[in-house]
Amino acid sequence: MQKITTAAQMRNMDRIAMHGVYAMASAVLMENAGHAVAERAGAWLDGWDGKDVVLFCGKGNNGGDGFVIARHILAAGARVYVYVLGKEEDYSDEARQHLHTLQQLADEETCLLLPAPQSDADWQLLQKRLLASSVVIDAMLGTGFHGSLRQPLASIVAEVNAAAAAGAVTVIAVDMPTGVNSDTGAVSNGDDDEDGPLFADMTVTFGALKRGLVLYPGRACAGHIEVDPIGMPGPLLMQLEEDPAYLLQESDIAEIVVPRSPDSHKGTHGTIAIVTGSSQMAGAALMAAHGAVRGGAGKVFLRVPGATAPYCIGVQPEIMVRGVGTGDHFTAADADEIIAESKNWSVLAMGPGLGRDAETKEFLLKVLAAVTCPVVLDADALNLLAGEKALIASRGSRIIMTPHLAEFSRISGLSMAEIKADPIAAARQFASEWKVNLVLKGAPTLIVSAKTGNVYVNSTGNAGMACGGMGDVLTGMIAAMIAHQGMSDLCSAACAGVYLHGAAGDACRKDRGPYGFTPMETADALPQVLASLEEDLALPILQQPLIGGK
């Protein structure tokens, strides 16, 4: 599990490393950072020998890293054109030291140091140089960006993007691509067409993964990402942060989705009840139930309104269907039957295709007030529960809510713009106030623990999954994961369901194409994903934070 940091958290780690008990020299960290980019990017590019490289070095320490990179790749056989975008007095002492070393290497043949372009002739020369080079290294801002890019950086970024689009150069970003907010993934978007962010082919980031590298639209600017510890003390890299966020990895899921005991039986793997659907949305109920079947549930019961049952009975023999009441939607009169039967259920899932009738809301509230098993809430159940914070908060520790962004906006009261401005903060705040485990579906999906407030960012899934019904299948998968043998808590189950759902979508993309595969096909790919997961489970992962733990 990878820790994902904010710029402030990373600055604090730097401060402790340099000025705390470790007393590391800042020039050493800068040297390590520059060397890391030279080594990692060099390996990715099959070496530096014979390559013409343009480097843009900003005024801050990111620019100092660029000076170090230039020296290392020069020694590896590259020719470097280094644009020094600040005055010498603008740089920190350590950056100025590295600049001084580079100045001694400048020979006008293999190493050229150049000021920021100003005249039309300067810009024309830059354009020609970019088209004639093979690599660009962006060491302009790092984690220091917010808002919109200013000149000359905005125009430099536009020229680099144009050269990259023409296929002339490969772009390497140092720590963060210029124009991407390292905390939120927001990108430069001013009034001018030239105000956009830099699009890198590779980003080498330092110490820990930055949130802006996993959140869109910033993620789309980062390309291939590698994290280098740059010699930071291990305890600092492993320390728990005040508002922790982590990137889910396959090894994390392999540890919580343990292989089944050979002597287990259907009772061991839970009884999942999907109580949802309406006559106009029977398919949503069936997809949720199918997700639970493919998720490994021991038994799956589907309870739908009486008039909906004929559309569901016999469609899939593994799903035990029964109608409740006689109408085409649930009413409060149907609640007692569900409440009584729930005593035999491991998990209850509600919402897909449920409908938004006022009578259905009465049914939903009555059921939620009485059942004692874990509950997964999605789709129409969420829409009906807007404004019902008190009821949910009183039972939230056993509830998983799974809204997409529009549903989350309705129940949280936040605008889409407010959510997208800082989705991790918005999700954490909601989970805290409503006291629930939250799955905020999107690219990427975020999972928040009701117990710890920890945020987990999913790393699987693809744009081919953007179609109706994917969320319904996910609801069933999460319900099945809650009942999975050995599953410790609801947040762990939510993480497992989300990760495996995305991995199944990735398997479909590989086997079938980039889009056009269906939610049911995604669910059907899950057993092969689980098989791969068990094959890859080899050695225990040491010293990682437990998803549902402290």
Q: What length is written for the chain? A: 550
- Give the Å distances, CA to CA, from 249 to 256, 264, 498: 12, 27, 12
12 known member of a binding site: no
283 known member of a binding site: no
Rounded Cα gap, residues 20 and 30, in angstroms: 17
328 known member of a binding site: no
449 known member of a binding site: no
144 known member of a binding site: yes
178 known member of a binding site: yes
291 known member of a binding site: no
DSSP annotation string for 507-532: HHHHHH-SS---HHHHHHTHHHHHHH
Helix (H, G, I), strand (E, B) or coil at 31: helix
Helix (H, G, I), strand (E, B) or coil at 478: helix
Rounded Cα gap, residues 162 and 171, in angstroms: 11
502 known member of a binding site: no
175 known member of a binding site: yes
314 known member of a binding site: no
443 known member of a binding site: yes
62 known member of a binding site: yes
Helix (H, G, I), strand (E, B) or coil at 62: helix
From 173, 178, 233, 179, select the one nearest 208 (Cα to Cα): 233
142 known member of a binding site: yes
461: Cβ contacts below 8 Å, ≥ 6 apart: 443, 444, 445, 501, 502, 503, 505, 506
Q: What are phi and psi of 537, to 5 degrees?
A: -75, 100
Rounded Cα gap, residues 525 and 538, in angstroms: 23
138 known member of a binding site: yes
269 known member of a binding site: no
Rounded Cα gap, residues 403 and 296, in angstroms: 23
* Secondary structure E strands in 287-428: 299-305, 319-324, 347-350, 375-377, 399-401
Planar angle of CA 35, 36, 42, nearest 5 degrees:
90
147 known member of a binding site: yes
404 known member of a binding site: yes
Q: What are phi and psi of 304, to 5 degrees?
A: -125, 165
In this structure, what DSSP letter does residue 446 have? E
Q: What are phi and psi of 80, to 5 degrees?
A: -120, 135
CA end-to-end span of the chain: 14
Six token digits for residue 219: 């993620």
Q: Half-sphere exposure of residue 19, counting CA atoms within 13 Å on the CB side?
A: 5
Which residues, in sequence order, are bridge partners of residue 40? none
Which residues, in sequence order, are bridge partners of residue 348? 273, 375
268 known member of a binding site: no
For residue 185, how far is the Cα from the chain centroid? Answer: 11
437 known member of a binding site: no
Residues contributing to the annotated binding site for AMP = 441-445, 471
Residues contributing to the annotated binding site for K(+) = 62, 138, 178
Residues contributing to the annotated binding site for (6S)-NADPHX = 61-65, 142-148, 175, 284, 353, 404, 472
Residues contributing to the annotated binding site = 61-65, 138, 142-148, 175, 178, 284, 353, 404, 441-445, 471-472
